[in-house]
A and B are shown apart, each in its own frame.
Chain A
Amino acid sequence: MDKGMKQKMNGKKIWFGVVLGIFWGWILSSGAILLADESIKFKQNETTFYRDLFDQSLYYEGVNQLDFGRWGRKLFGKASPSQNVNIFDEVPDSGFFTNRQGRERLSPEALEKGYQETPGPYLSRPLQVIAAEQRGIYPRFWVKDARGDEYLMEFDPQGNMELVTGAETIASRFYYALGYNVPQFTILSIKPDQFQVAPEATTWEDTGFNKTLSQKRFEEYLMVLPQNNEGLYRASTCKVMKGDYHGTFSFESRKKNDSTDIVNHRDRREIRALGIFAAWLNHYDLRESNTLDISIEENGQIVTKHYLADFNGALGSMQEGPKKPMLGYEHTIDYEETFKSVLALGFREKPWQKKWRLTDKKIPTSPAVGYFTNELFDPARYKTEFPYEAFRRVTRADGAWAAKLLMSFSDEDIRAMVKAGQYSDAKDADTIAKTLIERRDIIARYWLSRANPLDKFSFSGERLSFKDLTVEHGFASKEGTVYHIEVMSAGRKEKVVQFETKEPAFNIQPEWIPANGEAKILLRVRRASTEKTSPAVTVLLNAAGVQGIHRED
């Protein structure tokens, strides 16, 4: 090798060393920054209404048909079990979900209060309007109070006082009690002179242009808003969360660059069950673009939490007024419904059309309640604005979990949460509460009748007892109900014994439990009224007690 060649090689080595040094420097420095910041940095995921519409109604509806796994499951009737359930068939706490009412019944006061950091905007000084947005003719404002907290204020449309603000606040209470993360929502009645436009305030006009918000323009906005008899505006105020915003979260996939986000979201039971809870709350516009990912400090640690954020499309409300008759019955683009109607040559009356006809094309409830009734409500057919695959993947076990959670709310609990809507007419609160109570029962009856409804297993040392949720909630009578029990061998391949009992408890023979193992007991329910046997729930048992529960999907 000549000298020139050696010099060239050395030069290359030096360059390689420099590049390698920079690379390692970058890796180490980014690690150091990561540790120094103690914050989670990951790519922002941003979806919007149009993007959601394209992705869910066009893209995924199309490409999901090219998914062999999906077709395979459909053809062979194989369910896709949720991935994040623990050994007791429950959903552990996470950044998505915290067991609240499910773990321990909340007091009526706590239910009414919901998630609260403050009692609402502090009005010792006029609220500073820092931004506004005009949507249609109605505005919404971002304000800052005397404490420096920021809030988003949304108002009711003309002729429907209390409709949107009530629905939004109530729905936030329900989602929070169920276990989801929601921002703080409170209702505020406010005089016009309690606002002050900040000098740097801007507004997104309905023309699509962002302009400086003048006092005159602000007063014009106020003019379209309804006022009560005392001249007060009523708003739902959503406290702007403090933390790092990372956009929205997907109902489909996990955030790959978030190390704490391991399970694909469509395989998270609490995400799948959102479709069921949306049916309960008539929350048709539950969609990805109405969610938020925020890193916040909690107990001295930075954690990422996934929030549901917009509820003005819940109950009988939508942003512009009472809910349209088809909402909740059809997706924005609903191929199945459209195809059926095309084939029926116009002679098929859709359920919402029938319901609308039966009400003589008039909303049967008051303007504050909107269009929210249970006539022709079918829990299996409820449809949110977009067809999320996660909601379609709900298994019987997921449904039973959701039903159990629904039934953990007593009538009084529901009334307590509806109270948060602060309706001026008690009849409106009563109508909403009654509809929610009735709908809770419809949904729970549906899922508990399809899944195994046995729960709350306890082992006293010689007797295994359990609750039949269907009987407990009055959806089926105790008479005519038979529990079919199978005890499997240690290898779990052979039945040791099988028998039937009419009582929700039976004795466990010591020889059924292996010395260093667990007994596997399969329980099924048969009712005289249906003559059908439910799917199985498997209970793993050892001398110390129940070691695991698994519901058949």
Chain B
Amino acid sequence: MALRSLRKISVFSVLFFGLVATVYAGEKGQKDLYAPVYTEPLTSKSLKDPISSLIELPFKLIKWPMDKGLAFTEEHRLDKKAKWLYQRATEEGVKPLFGGSETTLIPFYGAEFNLMALTKQKEKYPDLIATTTILHGPKSFFLVGSELGAQQIFGGGHVSGFFQYDVREKELFYGIGPKSSRGDGTSYKMKTTQVGTVAGFSFSPTIDLSGVFSYKSVGITNRAYDGLGDIRNSFVSKNIPGLNGEDLLNYEMVLNRDTRDSQDQATKGSYQRLSFKFTDGTGSSSARYFTYLLDAAKYFQLASPRRIFVARFFTEFNQEINHGNVPFFEMVKLGSSGTFPLRSQTSRAYGYNRFYGNGAMLLNLEYRYTVMQYKEFKLNTALFVDEGQIFNDFGKICMKYFRESYGAGFYLSYTKNTLLAFSVAHGNEGTRFYLDNKIAF
């Protein structure tokens, strides 16, 4: 009421003084060009017409709590507190980890514990490694890993022992080979326990050669995923090796070379991973095979760091020896975005673990270009083609079995760390969308 009166008084005052000013100026014969004299009285108007205001109404219900929340966050420096907590935890040896999971909408979370930092021994023994990782993706996976070892031995040598326990709740299986059908979807639960040792030498900061020996015990439980069938029933006529799990011994040599400027958002350089592995089943297992693997990618700058062309080639082949076989869960898999914690290779128009086989050949071509840059934030657009094929024998590689995906994505990063990656891919089995906080390569 009082405010309304005040408003009336002020409007009246403006008009009155305007009139007085006009009369006064007229008398003097000289006008004040800045006098508050208007062609019509100032009135308060609404910002929008009634219909537009009505349309905006539901959005205002979102704006209010957002505004309050953001103001509260800034006023109480919650953003700075969160950043400090993350940095402090990392310095103290606890690195929080989180990300998207393909098999469920719920993100995974966990932490990597640097035991040397936690026990305040890092400065005293800088070359000792003692880490433990715990990750949990609700309804998806649970992983505990640990590594204990030393690095910088005689310059570049390193040796460590590792342990890993990994439970996969929703592994999908559609059959073996390039002709499998999406309609044959089955599922299984896999529990893997692995212990081993790694010894190697880093010839330079970019080249490392390592030997790995490990023992792996895999337990399989069929029909883990609601609504999907049982492998034993769906593939009753097929010989699916490893359906009851396996105990395996692995002997592996790995050569790694990595010259990228960033592992997450590389703009130049390349990486190559060459691996040769021999796997031998123990006990009643009939597994016995060699695995040859090459994973290589090169990042080309097209006359500007704003334009990057990435070519990635991946091939893996498991060669059965002495009438041994390759357990189905150890086969090469194609499908989905290929980001951690998935073990299926990048073939984005197809679902996770869509194709299983003894061998695979995959070519990922991706053109990334920067469309927005603001201070340290960068938004890249990506156009990609994935061309891959699963095969059981080199002789059976056939053009018609190549499966292609093509699509586009947007990758938002801050200081070369991916914050958000959204992509959409299309292929002959439909269209798939991805939202994650990392990219595959």
Contact between chains at B49 and A544 (CB < 8 Å):
no
Contact of A264 among B6, B44, B82 (CB under 8 A): B44
- Are B44 and A544 touching (Cβ within 8 A)? no
In the complex the two chains form, is B59's CB within 8 Å of A68's CB?
no
Interface residues of A in 191-235 (CB under 8 A from B): 204, 206-209
- A326-B374 in contact given A68-B49, A90-B34, A345-B369 (Cβ < 8 Å): yes
- Which B residues are CB-close (under 8 A) to A70? 52
Q: Which of B37, B43, B79 has the most CB of A within 10 A?
A: B37
Contacting pair A257 B81 (CB below 8 A): no
Q: A48-B70, A69-B48 are known contacts. Are A86 and B7 too (CB-CB below 8 A)?
A: no
Q: Mark A226-246, 1 if CB is under 8 A from B, else 0.
A: 000000000000000000000
Chain B residue at minimal CB-CB distance from A35: B2
Question: B7 near A259 (CB under 8 angstroms)?
Answer: yes
Interface stretch (choices B25-33, B149-157, B170-178, B282-290): B25-33
Given contacts A55-B63, A92-B36, A208-B79, contact A259 B3 (CB under 8 A): yes
A93 to B37 Cα, complex, angstroms? 11
Contact A92-B81, Cβ < 8 Å, known A46-B71, A55-B63, A263-B42: no
From the candidates B31, B78, B370, B372, name the one contacting A88 in the complex (CB within 8 A). Answer: B31
Q: Do residues B44 and A254 form an inter-chain contact, with CB atoms below 8 A?
A: yes
Residue of B14, B34, B48, B79 touching A67 (CB-CB under 8 A) = B48
Residues of B within 8 A of A160 (CB): none
Tell me which of A59, A91, A324, A338 contacts B371 (CB under 8 A): A338
Interface size on A, residues (CB 8 A): 70
Q: B372 contacts A338, CB within 8 Å?
A: yes
A50 touches B47 (CB 8 A): no
Contact: B70 with A330, CB < 8 Å?
no
Q: Please measure, in the bound complex, the distance between the C-alpha atom of A522 and the C-alpha atom of B201, giving whole angstroms.
A: 87
The reply to whether the CB of A262 lies closer than 8 angstroms to some CB of chain B is yes
Q: Decide: A544 and B26 in contact? CB cutoff 8 A.
A: yes
Q: A55 to chain B: which residues have CB within 8 Å?
A: 63, 67
CB distance from B41 to the nearest CB of A (A): 9
Closest-CB distance, B437 to chain A (whole angstroms): 19
Query: A545 CA to B303 CA in the complex, in Å?
Result: 66
* In the complex, B104 has a CB within 8 A of chain A: no
User: 8 Å CB contacts to A: which residues of B342-383?
Assistant: 367, 369-375, 379, 381, 383
- Asked if A19 CB lies within 8 Å of chain B CBs, one says no
User: Contacts A48-B74, A83-B42 known; A27 to B372 CB distance under 8 Å?
Assistant: no
Q: Which residue of A50, A55, A59, A102 has the most chain B CB atoms within 10 A of its CB atom?
A: A50
With known contacts A263-B42, A545-B31, A51–B59 Cβ distance under 8 A:
no
Out of B2, B39, B73, which one reaches A548, CB within 8 Å? B39
Residues of B within 8 A of A263 (CB): 42, 44-45
Q: How far apart sit A363 and B51, CA to CA, in the bound complex (Å)?
A: 50
The answer to whether the Cβ of B236 comes within 8 Å of any Cβ in the partner chain is no
In the complex, whether B429 has a CB less than 8 A from a CB of chain A is no
Interface residue B97 (Cβ < 8 Å from any Cβ of A): no
Is B440 engaged at the interface, CB distance under 8 Å to the other chain? no
Q: Is the CB of B31 within 8 A of A338?
A: no
Asked if B381 contacts A86 (CB within 8 A), the reply is no
CB < 8 Å neighbour of A86 from B34, B67, B83, B375: B34
> Which residue of A has the minimal Cβ distance to B380?
A346
With A87-B39, A91-B34, A264-B45 already in contact, the answer to whether A66 and B371 are too (CB < 8 A) is no
- B370 close to A207 (CB less than 8 A): no
Task: Give CA–CA (A102, B34) in the complex, Å.
Answer: 10
Could you tell me if A346 and B2 are in contact, using CB atoms closer than 8 angstroms? no
Residue of B at shortest CB range from A49? B74
Question: In the complex, what distance in Å separates the CA atom of A208 from the CA atom of B55?
Answer: 39
Once the chains are docked, how many angstroms separate the CA of A324 from the CA of B374? 8
Contacts of B31 in A (CB 8 A): 88, 545-546
Q: What 1/0 mask marks residues of chain A from 300 to 338 whose CB sits below 8 Å from any chain B CB?
A: 000000000000000000000000101000101110011
Q: A92-B35, A260-B10 are in contact. Are A204 and B77 (CB under 8 A)?
A: yes
Q: Is B84 an interface residue (CB 8 A)?
A: yes
CB of B1 within 8 A of CB of A31, answer yes
Contact in complex: A50, B371 (CB < 8 Å): no
Q: Are B374 and A330 in contact (CB under 8 A)?
A: yes
Report B300-346 residues with CB < 8 Å from chain A CB. Answer: 302, 304, 306-307
Answer yes or no: A15 CB below 8 A from chain B CBs. Answer: no
B182 within 8 A of A: no
Question: Chain A 45-62, CB within 8 Å of chain B: the 1/0 string?
Answer: 011111101110001001
B11 close to A (CB within 8 Å):
yes
CB-CB under 8 A from A497, the residues of chain B are none
C-alpha gap A544/B29 in the complex (Å):
7
Q: How far is the CA of A346 from the CA of B367 in the complex (A)?
A: 9
B75 at the interface (CB under 8 A from A): yes
A259 to B6, CA, bound (A): 6
A353 lies within 8 A of chain B by Cβ:
yes
Asked if A262 and B34 sit within 8 Å, CB to CB, the answer is no
Whether the pair B44, A87 counts as a contact (CB closer than 8 A) is no
Q: Does A489 make an interface contact (CB < 8 A)?
A: no
- Give B1-29 interface residues, CB cut-off 8 Å to A: 1-4, 6-7, 9-11, 14, 26, 29
Give the complex CA separation of A92 and B36 in angstroms.
Answer: 5
Known: A31-B1, A46-B71, A67-B48. A262 touches B42 (CB 8 A): yes
Whole-angstrom distance between the Cβ of A386 and the nearest chain B Cβ: 12
Inter-chain contacts of A259 with B (CB < 8 A): 3-4, 6-7, 9-10
What are 22 A-B contacts defined by CB distance under 8 Å? A46-B71, A48-B70, A48-B74, A66-B56, A69-B48, A92-B37, A204-B77, A206-B80, A207-B84, A257-B3, A260-B6, A262-B44, A267-B45, A324-B375, A334-B372, A341-B372, A346-B306, A346-B307, A346-B367, A346-B369, A346-B371, A544-B29
Shortest beta-carbon contacts, A-B, top 8: A346-B369, A208-B80, A208-B77, A208-B81, A259-B7, A341-B371, A259-B6, A207-B84
Residues of B within 8 A of A (CB): 1-4, 6-7, 9-11, 14, 26, 29, 31, 33-39, 42-45, 47-49, 51-52, 55-56, 59, 63, 66-67, 70-71, 73-84, 302, 304, 306-307, 367, 369-375, 379, 381, 383
